[in-house]
Amino acid sequence: MRITARSLLPLSAAIAFLFCASAVTALEIRLVYVGSTDESAWLGVLQGQHEANIQGRFLDQTYTVEAMTPEAFPQSEPRAAAIIAAGDASALQSLSEGMASTAVFNVTADDDDLRQGCTTNLLHVPPSRAMKASAVAQWTQKNPDANVEARAWHPKFVKYAARDLNKRFLKVQGVAMDDDAWAGWAAVRMVAEAVIRTQSTDPSALLAFMKSEIAFDGQKGIPHTFRDTGQLRQRLLIVDEAGKLTGEAPVRGVADTTDLDSLGVPSCQP
């Protein structure tokens, strides 16, 4: 399958490209991944980098990702536009405290308490446990005998251009895309959209844009935005006990299908 830069541009980025292409300056965007490179989140990050650089050839932007272990990560990392981290709650809190003006993307942990800490620079791409529980509750309200789980992604998801993303990922990475891989991909693509819209690599500017203005196309049919908890609003996929994709949440007939705040805790609690 042929991947073009235009096919990878979300609508908002495409508009920015059309109006700003003649005025863009060369940008080098450095990201740091903190975590194991043996996990699927890393493959998602690599896929995001691959697609960002295809797009970047038309915009004179170059993306690099440096992988580090938590032990090797310095107390501050002023050269990074954003940090993408696959770790537990403690590691994520430590990273965010040392990088107060830089976005730290959580791409694996689903802890509810981590969201309710409402750390200003910690952005959570995976759905929280509470979001997944809400999705299952909505589904079983409509289908009482169902035995299901809620997930962020599924390799057989085909709606909303998800089929194309799954095909691209499989072709380049050689394995099917799972939840953590989707989260890693999404984190890089959100940074790329922020860079296009702000024409900046300044970490604080990118963080501010993502927290307040981004409407990310995560290939799930509805713009993704961040709550004040740092949680990414998103549709969830309902999967049965055999691993078959059976539906989406919010669940039609139980909740407004566009009400992403019907899943989980919508805001910081006092």
- Assign domain 5-262 to a CATH class: alpha beta
Residue 205's identity, in one-letter code, is: A
Most confident of the ranges 2-16, 71-85, 251-265: 251-265
What pLDDT band is residue 25 in, cutting at 50, 70 and 90?
confident
Q: How far apart are CA 200 and CA 240, in angstroms?
A: 43
Kind plus residue range of the DSSP H or E element containing 245: strand 245-249
Rg of the chain on CA atoms, in Å: 18
Ordered alpha helix ranges (H), 111-260: 112-116, 129-142, 162-173, 179-198, 203-212
Q: What percent of the chain lies above the pLDDT cut of 90? A: 85
Q: For the whole model, what pTM was predicted?
A: 0.91
At residue 55, the pLDDT reads 95
Cα-based distances in Å from 65 to 37, 96, 103, 212: 12, 18, 15, 25
pLDDT in tens, 155-174: 999 999 999 999 999 999 99
228: Cβ contacts below 8 Å, ≥ 6 apart: 118, 267, 268
Per the document, the length of the chain is 270
At residue 76, the pLDDT reads 64
Q: How far apart are CA 258 and CA 223, in angstroms?
A: 10
What pLDDT band is residue 23 in, cutting at 50, 70 and 90?
low
pLDDT at 5 over 50: no
Per-chain mean pLDDT for the chain: 92
